[in-house]
Amino acid sequence: MAARIDPERRRGQIVEAAFRLVAAEGTEGMSLRKVAEESGLNIGSVRHYFDGHRDLLAAAATEAGDRMGRRLARHPLEDMRGLRGDAALDALQALVEAVMPVDEERRGEAVVVMELIMAARTKPVFRAMAERMGADLRTVLQEALEALSVPDAGLAAEQVAAVVGGLTLDAITPHGGDLDEDRLRTVLREHLRLVLGAAAPAARDGAGTGR
């Protein structure tokens, strides 16, 4: 009797294969045939779970978002309350780096998410998903900045989100020049230092800035 194949496991194989292809070759490098080859399955199995290119890209982007979400969860916002100075800067940077291409794993995730965002520009079917990802990121950033007592945390979150988007795009595209992981972290830190500087007056009423 043949062993029963776990549908969720097989679907996971396909999603992982689509993720790897998009990260390595972009959306143009992902096809049902290539995904089948990459996952070690036949194309009929891929079609059983996904209707085509659109569904595969959405699944790959969802996987990237889930990975980022799990990493963000390792930085509870409650742990950030009351932090000041370098402790606050370190905590905020660790949180933001959870969604930035500062290593190979996160670079792959960033590429997949950026591919979805670019696809959403011309394909409305991806627009809601891309907008939700952006909104979720800004919400996390705003809550973190509120925990760190940054005034007008909503506006500050928009500023940080813009920096994240710009640095990510530079880091994963050829025109990024010498923006390697170390340089990315350095530039990000200086931007976050400026954002947290707005909270300095409140910090002086307490334990000081630590700088």
Asked if 167 contacts 100 with a C-beta cutoff of 8 angstroms, the reply is yes
Q: 113 lies in a domain?
A: yes
What is residue 29's predicted lDDT score, i.e. its pLDDT?
Answer: 80
Among the residues of 31-101, which ranges form H helices?
32-39, 43-49, 53-72, 85-97
Q: 20 lies in a domain?
A: no
Q: DSSP strand E in the chain: where?
A: none
Q: 1 lies in a domain?
A: no
CATH of the domain at 133: 1.10.357.10
Number of domains in the chain: 1
* Chain CA centroid to CA 102, Å: 11
Q: What is the mean pLDDT of residues 183-199?
A: 92
Q: 90 lies in a domain?
A: yes
Residue 181 lies in domain: 64-203
Report pTM: 0.84
Q: 208 lies in a domain?
A: no
Q: 182 lies in a domain?
A: yes
pLDDT of 136 above 50: yes
Q: What is the mean pLDDT of residues 65-71?
A: 93
